[in-house]
């Protein structure tokens, strides 16, 4: 006798049951994006006429010091907990010795003080790397075509101390030199800045997605060669984990994965393995891709929220994103 297959009268699991209404979907959402998860990167210029929209980052502007103060006030109003300052420095003051990097009067340090004046409760994060002040656009000193490690670390320490002195809450070494976290932590402790935190750009890849940023800080035309001798090869996963392990052991308080969207696997693994505060940087090229497509009508604006929610699902505590103010406004309306 041929056996008749048993066809159930209804699907064994109706997973659509809990997707039926907004209330049920809200009740069963596993992750949420809130304004507290955002860090807003801002560009501050000291160049006369340097302010205004960055062509490869539509909707993002280089700000004057006054503009930076207004941005800080806006961040406070919107509930964004932190801004991260990126300097657009005078090209005539870029040198091989990068002395301006640790000048208390450089535009980055002036911006820290200006923001702390108007928004003392806003967390101010900085970037530590020599590129905004380096004539050749590299994050470290260049000697005979080589980006030298240990001399650069000594300069980064001076840069960090100037930023801490100016009132920064969180220092973000983005340079990828070896040994910098231990050197920074030791110097900060010795100088009495024991409460200044370090968010290490620990898993920072040699990425093509930084292109618009280099336009924004005026480094694109200058960069001699590429950054592959110090940033991580996009092919590598284990190496990123070793970087994170090393930086946490050296005293990093928080760690970052950068870029973000193509590296969500790394975000997840870093969070699961180290259980440390973990952040992703949705970098300039990711912003340009999404915003460009939105402005062309090729994608809907909802991809902005979706892309950020996915970082939360991947284990990130927060995201540095140029969408921060727009997202904060959207979340406030919801």
Both ends of the chain: CA-CA distance in Å?
A: 62
Q: 331 vs 93, 283, 318, 327, CA distance in Å? A: 41, 21, 15, 6
CA–CA distance, 194 with 324 (Å, rounded to integer): 29
Considering the rule CB under 6 A, would residue 141 count as an interface residue with ligand PBG? no
CB of 132 to ligand PBG, least distance (A): 8
CA–CA distance, 181 with 153 (Å, rounded to integer): 9
Cβ atoms of 168 and 114 within 8 Å: the answer is: no
The catalytic residue among 94, 204, 227, 271 is 204
Among 147, 283, 319, 324, contact with ligand PBG (rule: CB under 6 A): 283
Nearest alpha carbon to residue 38 among 326, 334, 333: 326
Among 174, 200, 307, 321, contact with ligand PBG (rule: CB under 6 A): 174
Rounded CA Rg of the chain: 22
Please identify, using beta-carbon distances, which residue of 26 and 96 lies nearer to ligand PBG: 96
Number of shown-chain residues binding ligand PBG (CB under 6 A): 11
Please identify, using beta-carbon distances, which residue of 138 and 312 lies nearer to ligand PBG: 138
Site for ligand PBG in 100-139 (CB under 6 A): 127, 129, 131, 139
Please identify, using beta-carbon distances, which residue of 62 and 227 lies nearer to ligand PBG: 227
Residue 54: how many other CB atoms lie within 10 Å: 20
Q: DSSP secondary-structure letter at 4?
A: P
Site stretch for ligand PBG (CB under 6 A), options 30-38, 105-113, 151-159, 210-218 = 210-218
Please identify, using beta-carbon distances, which residue of 118 and 223 lies nearer to ligand PBG: 223
CA–CA distance, 329 with 322 (Å, rounded to integer): 13
CB of 170 to ligand PBG, least distance (A): 14
CB of 11 to ligand PBG, least distance (A): 45
Q: 13 vs 8, 25, 153, CA distance in Å? A: 11, 17, 58
Among 200, 284, 307, 321, contact with ligand PBG (rule: CB under 6 A): 284
CB of 316 to ligand PBG, least distance (A): 16
Q: Is 258 annotated as catalytic? A: yes
The catalytic residue among 94, 227, 258, 271 is 258
Tokens of 222: 């200058």
Please identify, using beta-carbon distances, which residue of 163 and 284 lies nearer to ligand PBG: 284
Please identify, using beta-carbon distances, which residue of 127 and 169 lies nearer to ligand PBG: 127
Nearest alpha carbon to residue 279 among 184, 174, 187, 164: 174
Residue 277: how many other CB atoms lie within 10 Å: 16
Burial pattern 134-154, b for ≥16 Cβ within 10 A else e, equals bebbbbbbbeeeebebeebbe
Please identify, using beta-carbon distances, which residue of 122 and 230 lies nearer to ligand PBG: 230
62 contacts: CB under 8 Å, gap ≥ 6: 43, 44, 45, 50, 51, 52, 54, 88, 216
Site for ligand PBG in 25-84 (CB under 6 A): none
Q: Given the structure tokens 């952040």, which residue do they identify?
A: 279
Residue nearest ligand PBG by beta-carbon distance: 213
CB of 102 to ligand PBG, least distance (A): 16
Q: So which residues are the catalytic ones?
A: 204, 258
Q: Interface residues with ligand PBG (CB under 6 A)?
A: 127, 129, 131, 139, 174, 210, 213-214, 227, 283-284
């Amino acid at each position: 006798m041929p056996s008749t297959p048993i066809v159930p009268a209804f699907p064994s699991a109706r997973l659509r049951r809990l997707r039926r209404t907004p209330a049920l979907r809200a009740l069963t959402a596993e992750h949420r994006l809130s304004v507290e998860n955002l860090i807003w990167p801002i560009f501050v210029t000291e160049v006369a006429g340097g302010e205004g929209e960055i062509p490869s980052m539509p909707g993002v502007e280089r700000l004057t010091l006054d503009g930076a103060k207004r941005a800080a006030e806006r961040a406070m109003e919107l509930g964004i907990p932190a801004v991260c300052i990126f300097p657009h420095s005078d090209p005539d003051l870029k040198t091989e010795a990068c002395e301006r990097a640790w000048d208390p009067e450089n535009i980055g340090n002036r911006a820290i003080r200006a923001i702390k004046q108007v928004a003392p409760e806003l967390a101010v994060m900085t970037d530590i790397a020599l590129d905004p002040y380096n004539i050749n656009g590299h994050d470290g000193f260049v000697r005979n075509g080589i980006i030298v490690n240990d001399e650069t670390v000594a300069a980064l320490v001076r840069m960090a101390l100037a930023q801490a002195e100016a009132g920064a809450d969180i220092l973000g070494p983005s340079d990828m030199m070896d040994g910098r976290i231990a050197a920074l932590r030791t110097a900060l402790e010795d100088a009495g800045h024991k409460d200044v935190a370090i968010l290490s750009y620990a898993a920072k890849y040699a990425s093509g997605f930084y292109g618009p940023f280099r336009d924004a800080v005026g480094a694109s035309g200058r960069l001699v060669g590429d950054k592959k001798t110090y940033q991580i090869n996009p092919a590598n996963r284990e190496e990123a984990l070793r970087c994170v392990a090393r930086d946490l052991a050296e005293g990093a308080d928080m760690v970052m994965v950068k870029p973000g969207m193509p590296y969500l696997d790394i975000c997840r693994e870093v969070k699961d393995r180290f259980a440390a505060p973990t952040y992703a940087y949705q970098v300039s090229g990711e912003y340009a891709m999404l915003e460009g497509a939105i402005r062309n009508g090729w994608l809907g604006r909802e991809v902005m929220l979706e892309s950020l929610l996915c970082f939360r699902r991947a284990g990130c505590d927060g995201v540095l994103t140029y969408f921060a103010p727009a997202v904060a406004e959207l979340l406030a309306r919801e």
